Amino acid sequence: MPYAGRLPHLSLPVLLALLLVLAGAGPVGAVDRPVVELSRAQAGAGGAVTVSGSGWRPRALLTLLVCGQAEPDRGVTGGTNSCANADGRAVTTDAEGRFFRRELPVVEPPVPCPCVVHVATVTGAGAEADAALEVAGHAVEPLPAERSGGRLSLLADTRLRGSGGLLTWFGSPPARTLEVTVGNVGTSPVRNPVFQVGTAHGVFAPQWQDQRWRGTIRPGGKARIELPVELAGGAHGDYTVSLKYGGKVLAEHPWGVGRPWGVTLFWALVLLVVPAALFRAGLAVVDHVRPRRPGHAARPARRLRLPAARRPPAPPWFAPDADPPGPRKP
């Protein structure tokens, strides 16, 4: 019993510490997510809206686009092909991951509404957020029902398979195979999904390309997806390969491409060999065209005479006034 009497006194500091930790942590499960706010929810084509945001990474480069066939809770169903890419804007967040009062022109997207202002990161870990926007005068069509209720999510790390060869060393386009494992967390199968594979160099925005994967992923099942990735000829430097499905970035993987030194070696040889060949050809032409002087006519070649000490002895029968050996005939 004396131990039980001491228990409240011993537990009081622990309880105070727990209360302080919970008070500083805030609500359980609260996670900072990117947020986008608009100055108004409706605007006509040719006007502008003011966009603000918070909850982004510090010093992150973002793109702002007006997109059609999209809703804040479903994202941009058609990817960036449903957005007015030519009239987008860029903004950089501050040290606290916020940006304020960035003006965005309102244009009609290439597909009907419902429309949103789509904000997404350009580099680094993918993050995006949408805010509903009604574009006055633009056609409106209801979004197609969820294709099947199937939704894909990344299950394993992404990797690039393959390596460069001799042709790549001489400027051939670098190529790899993007491998990811995705799972269907929805309630219906996903048949022949269309992925978007993007390649970005440095701080530039990714260049997306649609690629269809042939197959069916059952609810609760998973599949290994392999998609080809290719860069332009002579590309080198730090690249980022991204995979997007249903308007959401599933995975990103860095790709360091070496410099094609074979091209440099080729041009170095050209710069050395071609001038040398031209110089030799010029000397040959000058020697052929230059007139010869009379005093320098070609002289007959003189016969080489060896010193007497090195001359071979002449046979005695070839010596003058010498008789050949042997008995003389009468």
Worst-scoring range by mean pLDDT, 7-21, 187-201, 204-218, 278-292? 7-21
Residue 295 vs residue 107, higher pLDDT: 107
In order of 68, 107, 111, 160, 245, the CA distances from 114 in angstroms are: 6, 13, 9, 37, 20
- Rounded to an integer, what distance in angstroms lies between the CA atom of residue 286 and that of residue 306? 38
CA 106 → CA 47, 87, 254, 319, distances in Å? 5, 8, 34, 121
Q: Is the pLDDT of residue 264 over 60?
A: yes
- Rounded average pLDDT over 269-297: 79
SS3 271: helix
Write the CB contacts of 130 (distance below 8 Å, at least 6 apart in sequence).
36, 67, 70, 71, 72, 75, 76, 116, 117, 118, 119
Higher pLDDT, 165 or 218: 218
- The band of 286, judged by pLDDT with boundaries at 50, 70 and 90, is confident
Q: Is the pLDDT of residue 227 over 60?
A: yes
pLDDT at 273: 85
What is the set of domains in the chain, with CATH numbers? 35-136 (2.60.40.230), 152-260 (2.60.40.10)
pLDDT of 122 over the 60 cut: yes
